[in-house]
């Protein structure tokens, strides 16, 4: 049986309200980052073993250690989504979008959550934002066309950006 991350005193206190990473724990910013990446690595191992609940828990700790890391929020949202925890997935993806508004895939993930929650109109608006940010992303294009068709809208093809 694997040791729980909750048994680590520094991580146990990471989520206390009003605390910033490393604050009141005697941890340097470098140590906080090391702990965050340790949690991400453990989450990756659990994910590879199909233990999504354990992966989610480690990602929650990573997010508590560094709440400004949009990549951690994207990973956490993805695991919540796979677990069917759609409200939590939406919140995690929203946090990622707020941290890095130009990240097209974060907007796409948020759109897919709202689609699954039975909110196709909102999903279309969100995937359009993703499309504006990255018109050449194939996954975004496919989702955009599917969502617009499901809402009774005809997709309007936008010109693709030229690459040299």
Q: Are residues 104 and 42 both part of a single domain?
A: no
**Number of neighbours of residue 110 by Cβ within 10 angstroms:** 25
155 occurs within a structural domain: yes
User: What number is the average pLDDT over the span 7-14?
Assistant: 43
- CATH number, residue 110: 1.25.40.10
Give DSSP secondary structure letters for 85-146: -HHHHHHHHHHHHHH-TT-HHHHHHHHHHHHHTT-HHHHHHHHHHHHHH-TT-HHHHHHHHH
Asked, for residue 80, whether it belongs to a domain, the answer is no
The predicted pLDDT at position 13 comes to: 45
Within 23-98, strands assigned E span: none
For residue 138, what are the domain limits? 85-164
pLDDT digits over 95-152, tens only?
Answer: 999 999 999 999 999 999 999 999 999 999 999 999 999 999 999 999 999 998 887 7
What pLDDT score does 55 carry? 98
Mean pLDDT, the chain, integer: 86
Q: Say yes or no: 104 and 60 in one domain.
A: no
Same domain, 53 and 13: yes
pTM of the model: 0.78
Same domain, 95 and 160: yes
Number of structural domains found in the chain? 2
Average pLDDT over residues 45-71: 98
């Amino acid at each position: 049986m694997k040791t729980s991350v909750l048994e680590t005193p520094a991580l146990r206190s990471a989520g206390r309200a009003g605390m910033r990473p490393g604050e009141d724990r005697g941890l340097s910013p470098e140590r906080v980052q090391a702990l965050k990446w340790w949690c991400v690595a453990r989450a990756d191992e659990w994910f590879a073993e199909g233990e999504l609940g354990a992966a989610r828990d480690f990602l929650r700790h990573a997010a508590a250690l560094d709440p400004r890391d949009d990549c951690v929020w994207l990973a956490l949202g993805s695991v919540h989504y796979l677990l069917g925890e759609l409200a939590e997935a939406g919140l995690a993806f929203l946090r990622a979008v707020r941290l890095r508004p130009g990240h097209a895939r974060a907007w796409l993930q948020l759109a897919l959550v709202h689609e699954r929650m039975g909110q196709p109109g909102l999903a279309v608006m969100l995937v359009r934002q993703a499309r504006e940010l990255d018109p050449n992303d194939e996954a975004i294009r496919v989702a955009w066309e599917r969502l617009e068709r499901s809402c009774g809208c005809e997709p309007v093809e936008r010109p693709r950006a030229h690459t040299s």
